[in-house]
Amino acid sequence: MISRNVTIQNNVGLHARPATFFIQKANSFQSSLWVEKEDRRVNAKSLLGVLSLGITKGMTITLIADGSDENEALDGLCELIDTGFGE
């Protein structure tokens, strides 16, 4: 199991369209993935779970991966976040 902290840079945070891109990317990996904000942890492959965290621009979240492709999963998700979800 590995984890990484990442800061959300895009203007709208992790809502609606960016969250959909995030979920699609997360679902492309076999590893179990979670998003943690403060004391809450949700399945990174669940749109409702991710949206329920209310992640906005400037927030730092923790991405957690556990599985055979955990490094690739975190690399892919961090790259998506760092590029602003293509916005």
Rounded to two decimals, the pTM is 0.93
Domain count, the chain: 1
Label residue 85 by pLDDT band (50, 70, 90): confident
pLDDT at 87: 66
Strand extents, DSSP E, the chain: 2-7, 32-37, 40-43, 60-66
Question: Which residue among 9, 12, 15, 21 is the active-site one?
Answer: 15
User: What is the C-alpha separation between 25 and 79, in angstroms, rounded?
Assistant: 10
Which residue range forms the structural domain that includes residue 50? 2-86
Could you read off the pLDDT of 1-53 as tens digits, one per residue?
999 999 998 888 888 899 999 999 999 999 999 999 999 999 999 999 999 99
Give the CATH number, domain containing residue 46: 3.30.1340.10
Closest CA to 10 of 62, 84, 86, 78: 84
Residues 34, 4: contact at Cβ < 8 Å? no
Annotated catalytic, 75? no
